[in-house]
Amino acid sequence: MARLLLCVMLVLLCRPAIALADDIAVAAASDLQFAIKELIVEYEKQTGHHVKLSLGSSGNFFAQLQQGAPFDLYFSADIGYPKKLEEAGLTVPGSLYRYAVGRVVLWAPKSSPLDVSKGLTTLREPAIRKVAIANPKHAPYGRAAVAAMEHAQVYADVKDRLVLGENISQAAQFIESGACDVGIIALSLAMAPVMKSAGSYWLIPAEAHPPLEQGAVIMKQSKQQDAARHFLQFMQSPQGQEVMTRYGFTLPN
């Protein structure tokens, strides 16, 4: 009897270790904030695996991964970053996946008197004191915002009123909280129910900025490569693609 109890205890003690062995650490660009959380909930429900999610700017994660940050899977809003990691031999060969193309929008809260449907020329209005964008130094959406303003020939009028978020999610928070009057954010954030109910947006033409091609890659240092690959496969499934489409991402052919 004592031996049986000991065996049962050993099994119970080992179960958490087995579950933890399948946990994956994911670094994701913050434009995925709402979409990837939906994906993770369903993935965990179906597989029993756990995903530890970190959201931030693609450039900052890139710098961390170059220094060996312990992430298994990296989702970047600029596919150039995972390509550079691949060239440096830091990724699992053949794991690079172009998962989406992002879009940017001009977004203002419902309390704002601004008519965003007039497009980026609205930014010239004297009533606008602060315009939020992501920091173009390390956030792809920030670079797209600058390019779009330059395309519309309003950047010179606006640059002194820009407020830079650490990432595109923080830029959106600046507007939603009232710290900024308007901003250029990711369509994927603007289409989230909480943002839809809080404001309105105007979709910036795709030709106004370089394509926001996005890519994911599995890190070579990862000890959970199979689980990371499984999550990527789930993202490519019809269920995963439906979630991405619903948040405004254009899917790869």
Q: Would you say 221 and 73 are in contact if contact means Cβ atoms under 8 Å apart? A: no
Q: Is 168 annotated as a binding residue?
A: yes
What is the residue type of 94?
Answer: G
Helix (H/G/I), strand (E/B), else coil: 210: coil
Q: State how beta strands 212-218 and 73-76 pair.
A: antiparallel
Half-sphere exposure of 145 (CA within 13 A, CB side): 32
Instruction: Decide: 250 and 103 in contact? Cβ < 8 Å.
Output: yes
* 227 closest CA partner among 73, 90, 83, 85: 73
Residue type, 111: S
CA 223 – CA 210 distance, rounded (Å): 35
Instruction: Give dist(CA 37, CA 35) in Å, integer.
Output: 6
Tell me the angle at which helices 238-246 and 225-236 cross, rounded to the nearest 10 degrees.
70
Residues annotated in a binding site: 58, 168
Residues annotated in a binding site for molybdate: 58, 168
